[in-house]
Amino acid sequence: MSKAARFPGCVVALLLIGAGSAWAQSPAAGPALPPGTGRDIAQAKCVSCHDTSRLTAPGYSREGWQVVLERMTKLGVQLEPTEVPVLTDYLARSFPQQTQAAASVIAGDVRVSFREWAVVPTGAFPHDPLATPDGAIWYTGQHASVLGRIDPKTGSIREFRTTVPDSGPHGLTADADGNIWFTANYAAYIGRLDPMSGVITAYKMPDPAARDPHTPVFDAGGVLWFTVQAANMLGRLVPGTGVVKLASVPTPHALPYGIVVSSKGVPFFAEFGTNKLAHIDPATLAIHEYVLPQAGTRPRRIAITSDDVLWYSDYARGCLGRYDPKSGVASEWPSPGGAASQPYGITALNDVIWYSESGVRPNTLVRFDPKSQQFQSWAIPSGGGVVRNMMPTAGGGLVLAESGAGKVALVTIK
């Protein structure tokens, strides 16, 4: 098998790659940090969990970098009080906020309409959305440590505060009985909220190294699978016993991120720190990785169609990717917003792919039809504020969390 040539843009052609081949690993270090006072702090404190690419892109204002450092501290980064202003200055000077390209909107036949609600409390930072069969829309308010439930008929919002303060609720899903489950990103537990009583049960990580529980998903048998990003682990929680088991990802610093379950009950996940997708064997917890052909690919979130084909948002290269784990065939398409469009939240609805571009202003909602291979896209009314996740509703629509805009959207599709 020959190594695929490296292309600067997305590669539209099909590429055949052997499943599980020993492809060269991309370096974990990332781009070199520019010189200046504070560089040594960044080098010492900021490149153990992720590489420097998280620092060099997309850039923030000084206030934005302050918020990032607060979040990193909650994730376990230890900074001396004297280091904080020096590092903030260095980051703000070296990686200022970049002006985002204007969205490029592609016309088409599908009509959509958006309804958006401002979440409570203000500044809650809605990270993940959840549409439940009763028509409600839930969200995790990561910064305010709340879960919220919106009734789209009345617009009323009920707020559930986590029992553990500053839990950092992040990923969100529901079980067959209507309980709401979330990953507590900062406090490292899995939470189950009984929406009737408001009682939250916390399932702690059995290993203190398991920081940053990230995205949860239930399989058809009611077992919860979740990624543990910074710890480079996958987790399994059996609700009947409450037992949590963890497995480490073979590639170091792989940053396991988005996760879906196939029709055969096998969880597949994206490795955002490298150019790989992977699955975990539900019986043995053995992890098998699949290498994507382009070394620069960084699959962030992942969707699955009824044929068990995986679709991923290539955040780093601005591509929509398709990977068939059965044949090893990979293909990709340039996202309408271009190489810096940062595709992020993604889902499949009736075997059509929907995702958001977070690197263009305003953020877009993009539709890709695998049959016709046609794109269509829309500007998100609020601007989006980075749509980190989305999911279908029972009624054939979509829900989106617009974290920086402080809103949750319901998209109706005609």
Dihedral of the alpha carbons of 315, 316, 317, 318, in degrees to the nearest 10: 30
Contact 360, 106 (CB under 8 A): no
CB of 116 to ligand HEC, least distance (A): 21
Q: What sign for the dihedral angle of Cα 333, 334, 340, 345?
A: negative
CB of 78 to ligand HEC, least distance (A): 9
Sites of contact with ligand HEC (CB under 6 A): 45-46, 48-50, 54-55, 68-69, 72, 75-77, 91, 212, 229-230
* 238 CB neighbour count, 10 Å cutoff: 14
**Which CB sits closer to ligand HEC, 26 or 376?**
26
CB of 48 to ligand HEC, least distance (A): 5
**Which CB sits closer to ligand HEC, 298 or 322?**
298
**Which CB sits closer to ligand HEC, 355 or 368?**
355
Dihedral of the alpha carbons of 372, 373, 379, 385, in degrees to the nearest 10: 140
**Which CB sits closer to ligand HEC, 45 or 158?**
45
CB of 139 to ligand HEC, least distance (A): 15
The Cα–Cα gap between 122 and 79 comes to 28
CB of 4 to ligand HEC, least distance (A): 29
Token code pair at residue 315: 């955040």
**Which CB sits closer to ligand HEC, 127 or 367?**
127
The Cα–Cα gap between 302 and 346 comes to 6
CB-based contacts of 177: which residues, under 8 Å, 6+ apart? Answer: none
The Cα–Cα gap between 284 and 290 comes to 18
Cis peptide upstream of residue 362 (ω within 30 degrees of 0): yes
CB of 101 to ligand HEC, least distance (A): 19
The Cα–Cα gap between 119 and 139 comes to 8
